[in-house]
């Protein structure tokens, strides 16, 4: 078994469409952000959208595209209807794994609303609904991983047998608390064919309610490079935990014993919504074929991050998308997408 890296060739991306049934603040702006993400993805690869009503979703996307002048070919999007609680595809989407003989699996882990914090009964059933009308090719096998609880945003793979994750999330209460850290690690190795798991014991971003998803704090860019969040404001709630995480990252080694090349991505200035902190992080980028989509914050740090990521991904286009509307749901661009390797989507 092998868990591919995000920079490997992809067949497409999943979005789950926000509508009136979902708990979004300022839904029209959130939908416009989704449409911009969809437009950017379609420049490079396929897209399928899970929604509660295909006709309404298509009509709203067309309305936004016309209003904002987006290049959005609706005929190239596949739509699948399912009841939903929310729209965080990274966490309720199936996780693609390749078998030793080229087999293709889509692993359907239990999604329980980030440790029973939010309703998730419908989102947890989305992948099984694909048995009746599937976005996947016929040779992709959907495998239930129950009772193991796992969100896609809590792990990151280098594609070569190393998984990066956080103890605060995977060992939190109400996920897999019947297992200790060592037992969880053994399960992960078996699921994904891993050689090792790198655990981060430090790091958090103020306002995050996932218990520390790694995809907002530290991400592989290639097998030897990790981009990570850093706070440059010593008065910030983020400064000390991210500084401690940086120390940990500096101590990590690649499979051949070399220090990782570390690329710090400064956090934008703290944003708030009605007194609540919003967990903005540029680390929540999405790698797709030929591009890296980066959650913009409308701040000077946007361009600093663009330049740093361009140096890491010289052959890909760096595309900043204003994702401030997504922060109202305490997530970002990577959180609302799920990518699938080449050969997966029909």
CA 247 to chain centre: 24
What is the tens place of the pLDDT at every residue in 267-282? Answer: 999 999 999 999 999 9
Q: How far apart are CA 66 and CA 70, in angstroms?
A: 7
Handedness of CA 71, 38, 140, 142 (dihedral sign): negative
Q: Of all helices (H) and strands (E), which one includes residue 190?
A: helix 181-192
What is the tens place of the pLDDT at every residue in 220-239? Answer: 999 999 999 999 999 999 99
List, for the chain, all residue ranges whose pLDDT scores fall below the cut of 70: none
- Could you identify the residue written with the tokens 């008065």? 235
Give the model's pLDDT for residue 326.
98
- What's the start-to-end Cα distance of the chain, in Å? 22
CATH of the domain at 97: 3.75.10.10
The answer to whether position 346 is within a domain reads no
Strands (E), the chain: 10-16, 46-51, 77-81, 95-98, 104-110, 140-149, 155-157, 162-166, 196-200, 218-222, 225-230, 261-266, 271-273, 276-278, 286-288, 291-296, 317-322, 337-341
Angle (nearest 5°) at CA 184 between 242 and 229: 15
The answer to whether position 87 is within a domain reads yes
- Backbone φ, ψ for residue 181 (5° rounding): -60, -45
Q: Classify residue 20 as exposed, middle or buried by CB count within 10 Å of its CB (0-12, 13-18, 19+).
A: exposed
Scored b (16 or more CB within 10 A) or e, 262-282 reads ebbbbbbebbeeeeebbbbbb
Residue spans of alpha helices (H) in 193-333:
239-251, 301-312
Q: How far apart are CA 52 and CA 17, in angstroms?
A: 8
Q: How far apart are CA 163 and CA 213, in angstroms?
A: 13
- What's the pTM value of the predicted model, to 2 decimals? 0.97
The answer to whether position 2 is within a domain reads no
The answer to whether position 4 is within a domain reads no
Total count of domains within the chain: 1
Cα→Cα distances 22→31, 56, 79, 84, 325, Å: 11, 14, 18, 8, 14
Structural domain range at position 274: 10-341
Closest CA to 265 of 245, 290, 289: 245
The answer to whether position 3 is within a domain reads no
Which residues lie closer than 8 Å to 52 by C-beta, 6 or more apart? Answer: 17, 19, 21, 81, 82, 83, 84
The answer to whether position 53 is within a domain reads yes
């Amino acid at each position: 078994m092998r868990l591919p890296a995000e920079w490997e060739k992809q067949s497409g991306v999943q979005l789950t469409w926000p509508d009136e049934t979902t708990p979004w603040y300022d839904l029209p702006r959130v939908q416009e952000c989704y449409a911009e993400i969809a437009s950017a993805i379609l420049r490079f690869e396929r897209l399928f959208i899970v929604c509660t009503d295909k006709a309404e979703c298509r009509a709203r996307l067309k309305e936004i595209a016309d209003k904002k002048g987006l290049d959005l070919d609706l005929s190239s999007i596949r739509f699948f209807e399912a009841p939903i609680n929310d729209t965080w595809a990274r966490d309720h989407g199936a996780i693609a794994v390749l078998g030793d003989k080229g087999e293709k699996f889509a692993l359907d882990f239990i999604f329980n609303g980030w440790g029973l914090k939010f309703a998730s009964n419908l989102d947890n059933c989305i992948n099984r609904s694909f048995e009746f009308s599937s976005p996947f090719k016929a040779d992709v096998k959907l495998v239930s991983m129950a009772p193991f609880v796992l969100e896609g945003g809590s792990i990151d793979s280098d594609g070569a047998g190393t998984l990066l994750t956080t103890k605060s999330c995977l060992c939190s209460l109400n996920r897999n608390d019947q297992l200790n850290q060592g037992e969880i690690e053994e399960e992960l190795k078996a699921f994904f064919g891993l050689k090792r798991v790198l655990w981060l014991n430090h790091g958090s971003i103020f306002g995050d309610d996932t218990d520390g998803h790694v995809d907002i704090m530290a991400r592989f860019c290639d097998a030897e490079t990790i981009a990570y969040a850093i706070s440059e404001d010593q008065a910030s709630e983020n400064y000390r935990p991210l500084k401690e995480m940086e120390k940990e990252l500096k101590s990590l080694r690649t499979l051949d014993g070399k220090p990782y090349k570390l690329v710090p991505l400064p956090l934008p200035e703290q944003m708030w919504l009605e007194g609540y902190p919003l967990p903005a992080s540029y680390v929540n980028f999405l790698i797709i074929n030929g591009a890296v989509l980066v959650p913009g914050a409308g701040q000077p740090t946007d361009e600093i991050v663009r330049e740093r990521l361009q140096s890491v991904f010289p052959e890909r286009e760096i595309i900043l998308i204003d994702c401030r509307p997504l922060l109202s749901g305490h997530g970002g661009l990577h959180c609302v997408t799920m990518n699938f390797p080449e050969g997966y989507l029909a």
